[in-house]
């Protein structure tokens, strides 16, 4: 399964040798592996998988730049088409249609009455000369236009989209993500430092306690966590989302494992120079564990940005405290027919995380692969 299925070197004429040359993948001469059927199967599996991953996301993106009418009609053409309108003297702004009378001669018209099997139309030049044509002979006159208003309306609160407080949601999301990540980094690094560089009574107990928290799923303590958060007076505020999730067992472990590789001599040398323990932590440990810290930072950003259930419980009653995820849920719930807005806001929500991913993809995948747990 894991070995490419190579052919032995086949004897044969020039054709055979040519095929062998063309399908060779690596190595040279005799040791070359043929591009066998296993490779074909592997690549088709991968391509198929990537299609399944990407097509829904790309489809969402392409829909989000289509004009409202095209989205409402569930038009499945890939590009955003919108019908060209024209200001017609004495009539007003009308959509333009192409009328084909069957002889191949095309005429620009607008509809002068309701759409029936025989529709009344007129040309923009002679708006008063109304004539009836069969409905099937009319084709919309279209141009490709990116519907920026799908994005701008909710963000700028135009066209009746006052209920989507984009700026507030974005601020809340960024606030939660940034503050929670900073707190997480700081206190997890402190705990990791203590567990990796000090020998003290209770070290094993603390380590076991942290392992135990790994095995307690968040959703089984929902109800009582609600009581605790409520009695601390942070229920309904962003701090109610930030604080409970700030200490992560994954983070402590990741940093502890990394800090174990920092030589003790460095710390001893600093102690010789009468540096305080806090300064050692800040000036030596933190700079040296930057790789691990950045992995944790990325993980924390992803977790906090995508968080849903706990913010839903804590923040749902106060619209001014909604995060982007909650705002989007409410938005999709209230106006579930305005797909063009919903999809545009969906794209806005997935964009930051996608950019982070494209930028740091190698770092993230190797980071998670080496630290393992979530």
Partner 1 sequence: MSLAGSLMTGLMLAWVLGGTVWLLTTRTYRITQVGRFAMDLLGFPVELTQSLFGRGGVPYALLLPNMAIFGLFTFAPMILNFYVSFTGGSSIILFERPWVGWEKYGDIFSCENFLEPRTCENAGYNFFTGLYNTLWFVVIQVPIMCSVALLTAIVVNRDIKGRGFWRAMFFYPVMLSPVVIANIWNWVLHRKGVLNETLDGATGALNALAGLSGFDMVMTVSLAVILMVVTERALRSASEPSTAWTGVFAVILTLLTAWANPLSLLGLSGSFWLGLALGLFLVWLVASGKSAARTAIMGAAFLAAVMLLSIQFSTVFDLGSYRPNNWLVTPNTGWPFFWLVFVFCWSHMGFYMLILLAGLQAIPRDLYEAAKMDATRPWRAFTRITLPLVMPTLTVVIILSLIRSFQIFDEVYLLTGGGPGRETYMIVQNIYEVAFTDSSPDYGQAAAGSVLMAAIIAIFTFGQLWLTRRQSDL
**Could you say which residues in the range 285-304 bind partner 1, by CB under 8 A?**
302
163 scored as a contact of partner 1 (CB under 8 A): no
Provide the minimum distance between the beta carbon of 251 and partner 1 in the complex, in angstroms, as a whole number: 9
158 scored as a contact of partner 1 (CB under 8 A): no
Q: Based on CB atoms, which residue is closest to partner 1, 89 or 215?
A: 215
Considering only CA atoms, which of 346, 329, 326 is closest in space to residue 62?
346
84 scored as a contact of partner 1 (CB under 8 A): no
DSSP 196: H
Provide the minimum distance between the beta carbon of 25 and partner 1 in the complex, in angstroms, as a whole number: 8
Q: How far apart are CA 23 and CA 222, in angstroms?
A: 58
Window 17 to 36, contacts with partner 1 (CB under 8 A): 26, 36
113 scored as a contact of partner 1 (CB under 8 A): no
359 scored as a contact of partner 1 (CB under 8 A): no
Q: Based on CB atoms, which residue is closest to partner 1, 288 or 313?
A: 313
Binding mask 33-52 for partner 1 (x = CB under 8 A): ---xxxx-xxx-xx--xx-x
203 scored as a contact of partner 1 (CB under 8 A): yes
Radius of gyration of the CA atoms of the chain, in A: 31
Provide the minimum distance between the beta carbon of 334 and partner 1 in the complex, in angstroms, as a whole number: 14
Segment contacting partner 1 by CB under 8 A, of 131-139, 143-151, 222-230, 256-264: 222-230
Provide the minimum distance between the beta carbon of 9 and partner 1 in the complex, in angstroms, as a whole number: 14
Per DSSP, the residues of 293-354 read HHHHHHHHHHHHHH--HHHHHHHTT-GGG--HHHHHHHHHHHTTT-HHHHHHHHHHHHHHHH
Q: How far apart are CA 121 and CA 112, in angstroms?
A: 5
Q: Based on CB atoms, which residue is closest to partner 1, 99 or 331?
A: 331
Provide the minimum distance between the beta carbon of 238 and partner 1 in the complex, in angstroms, as a whole number: 14
| Beta bridge mates, 138 | 99
Per DSSP, the residues of 100-152 read E-SSS-EEEEEE-S---SEEEEE-SS-TT--EEEEGGGEEE-EEE---THHHH
Of 79, 118, 209, 269, which lies in the binding site for partner 1, with binding defined by CB under 8 A? 209
Considering only CA atoms, which of 7, 5, 3, 2 is closest in space to residue 30?
7
Window 181 to 200, contacts with partner 1 (CB under 8 A): 187-188, 190-191, 193-195, 198, 200
Provide the minimum distance between the beta carbon of 230 and partner 1 in the complex, in angstroms, as a whole number: 6
Q: Based on CB atoms, which residue is closest to partner 1, 118 or 218?
A: 218
Helix (H, G, I), strand (E, B) or coil at 8: coil
Q: How far apart are CA 58 and CA 343, in angstroms?
A: 11
């Amino acid at each position: 399964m894991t070995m490419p299925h190579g052919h032995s070197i086949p004897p044969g004429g020039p054709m055979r040798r040519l095929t062998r040359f063309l399908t060779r993948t690596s190595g040279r001469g005799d040791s070359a592996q043929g591009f066998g059927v296993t490779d074909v199967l592997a690549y088709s599996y991968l391509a198929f998988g990537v299609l399944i991953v990407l097509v829904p996301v790309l489809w969402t993106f392409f829909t989000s730049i289509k004009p409202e009418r095209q989205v409402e009609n569930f038009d499945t053409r890939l590009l955003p088409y919108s019908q060209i309108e024209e200001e017609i003297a004495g009539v007003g702004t009308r959509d333009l249609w192409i009328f084909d009378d069957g002889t191949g001669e095309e005429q620009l018209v607008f509809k002068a009455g309701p759409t029936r099997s025989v529709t009344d139309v007129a040309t923009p030049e002679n708006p008063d000369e109304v004539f009836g044509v069969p409905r099937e002979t009319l084709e919309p006159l279209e141009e490709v236009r990116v519907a920026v208003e799908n994005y701008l309306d909710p963000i700028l609160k135009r066209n009746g989209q006052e209920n989507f407080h984009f700026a507030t949601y974005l601020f809340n999301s960024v606030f939660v993500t940034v503050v929670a990540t900073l707190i997480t980094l700081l206190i997890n690094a402190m705990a990791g430092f203590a567990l990796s560089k000090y020998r003290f009574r209770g070290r094993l107990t603390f380590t076991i306690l942290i392992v135990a928290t790994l095995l307690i799923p968040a959703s089984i303590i929902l109800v009582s966590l609600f009581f605790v958060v409520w009695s601390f007076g942070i229920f309904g505020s962003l701090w109610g989302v930030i604080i409970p999730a700030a200490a992560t067992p994954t983070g402590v472990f990741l940093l502890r494992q990394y800090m174990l590789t920092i030589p003790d001599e460095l710390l001893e040398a600093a102690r010789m120079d009468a540096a305080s323990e806090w300064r050692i932590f800040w000036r030596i440990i933190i700079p040296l564990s930057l790789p691990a810290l950045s992995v944790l930072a990325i993980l924390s950003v992803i977790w906090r940005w995508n968080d849903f259930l706990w913010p839903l419980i804590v923040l749902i009653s106060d619209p001014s405290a909604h995060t982007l995820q909650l705002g989007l849920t409410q938005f999709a719930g209230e106006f579930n027919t305005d797909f063009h807005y919903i999809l545009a806001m969906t794209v806005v929500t997935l964009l930051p995380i996608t950019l982070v991913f494209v930028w740091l993809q190698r770092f993230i995948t190797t980071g998670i692969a080496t630290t393992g747990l979530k």
